[in-house]
Amino acid sequence: MRLPPSFRQLPIGRIAHGLCSIASGAMPEREPQPISVEQMYASGPLTELQIDELLDESLHPRGPEFLFEVAADLGVDASSRVLDIGSGNGRHVIELARRFGCWTVGVEFVWDHLTSGFPDLEPEVATSLALAQGSIAALPFADGTFDLVWSRDMLIHIADLRGALAEGRRVLRPGGAMVVFQMFATPWLEPGDAERLWPALAAVEANTDPDRFEEIVGEAGLEVERREELRSEWREFLEESGPGKTSRQLLHVARLLRHEERFRELLGDVDYRASVADRLWGVYQMIGKLSPRVYVLRPRA
């Protein structure tokens, strides 16, 4: 918070408590009583400058590499068979094959993603992977084919979540596991936020409820072996490591909203709405309205 110049010399510390509680991972409940003007500007343990310095310190967030670390923890190696469901243009298929030397298959529903083609790859990587068009509702593989099923940011689009998870379970070998990266709404996501976000991203809103998700995991014959709540970590990592991805998204959505008529005309309604929602996707993670989780799921005995 920036105060008028005449107030800059006043020490303020009361505002630090809410900020620190958010940073520690706990969503503060809405305060039953409003803060008074006297409380707001009263002396506290830290000055405004000290609060800025405190919050400038990194909390050492995990980045996107974490997902591959989870795969490594599960023992993925050159002898493993890995399936990436919802593989898009094959980016993760390539990286899994490159890192672990494993045989990796990507299944993608959207034809445009498949036809974008692979970049030039090292021969040993190119011979270790394949892409196929298909649906998680009916995977074109025999029972017990894969050691690992990898699902990043795609189950949010699936209407039959129970069926999709059951298909993932079906193609797992004994001892295999699913690694799922999934975005969830938090209590800070207001109904208006959800209305702007989910329809424009072709998302199934019910799949963004973490309690419902875990209930369906059980109904699909799986159990949660590991659960990691990432909150804003990846977004913080991308800010601190250089790309500044979320800052750029915030600037983009500001421009999209300020000149809505112009951008609707240039992009068309569908792409305009999707562009706004896609950028809010990152911003909402940073401010606690969305929180991704990583799950390791095992077939229930």
Tell me the three-class secondary structure of 77-104, residue by residue. Answer: CCCCEEEEECCCCCHHHHHHHHHHCCEE
Measure CA 75 to chain center.
23
pTM of the shown model: 0.86
Q: In what order do the strands lie in the sheet with 290-299?
A: 129-133, 103-108, 81-85, 146-152, 172-185, 290-299, 222-229
Could you give the dihedral angle defined by the CA atoms of residues 77, 81, 87 and 93, in that order, rounded to the nearest 10 degrees?
40
Number of domains in the chain: 2
Per-residue model confidence (pLDDT) at position 90 = 85
**Distinct helix (H) and strand (E) counts, the chain:** 14, 7
Residues 94 and 224 in one domain: yes
Task: Please name the residue that has the structure tokens 């010399």.
Answer: 9
Kindly state whether residues 87 and 220 are assigned to the same domain. Answer: yes
Asked if 167 and 121 touch (Cβ cutoff 8 Å), the reply is: no
Same domain for 50 and 74, yes or no, is no
* Same domain, residue pair 86 and 132: yes
Domain co-membership, 74 together with 42: no
- Comparing 287 with 27, the larger pLDDT belongs to 287
| pLDDT recorded at residue 9 | 34
Whether 224 and 111 map to the same domain: the answer is yes
- Mean pLDDT within 252-257: 98
Is there a single domain that holds both residue 15 and residue 134?
A: no
Same-domain pairing of 105 and 143: yes
The confidence score (pLDDT) of residue 228 equals 98
pLDDT at 117: 61
28-73 pLDDT tens trace: 556 668 889 988 888 889 999 999 999 999 999 999 999 999 999 9
Query: pLDDT tens digit string along 112-136?
Result: 766 666 677 888 888 898 888 888 9
Per-residue CA distances from 274 to 116, 141, 201, 205, 246 (Å) = 20, 33, 6, 16, 16
The two tokens of residue 98 are: 């490159």
Residue whose pair of structure tokens reads 């990587």 in the numeric block = 125
245-258 vs 233-240: helix crossing angle, rounded to 10: 100
Identify the domain containing residue 109 by its residue range. 70-182+206-228+293-299
| pLDDT confidence of residue 209 | 98
Q: Give yes or no: residues 25 and 136 share one domain.
A: no
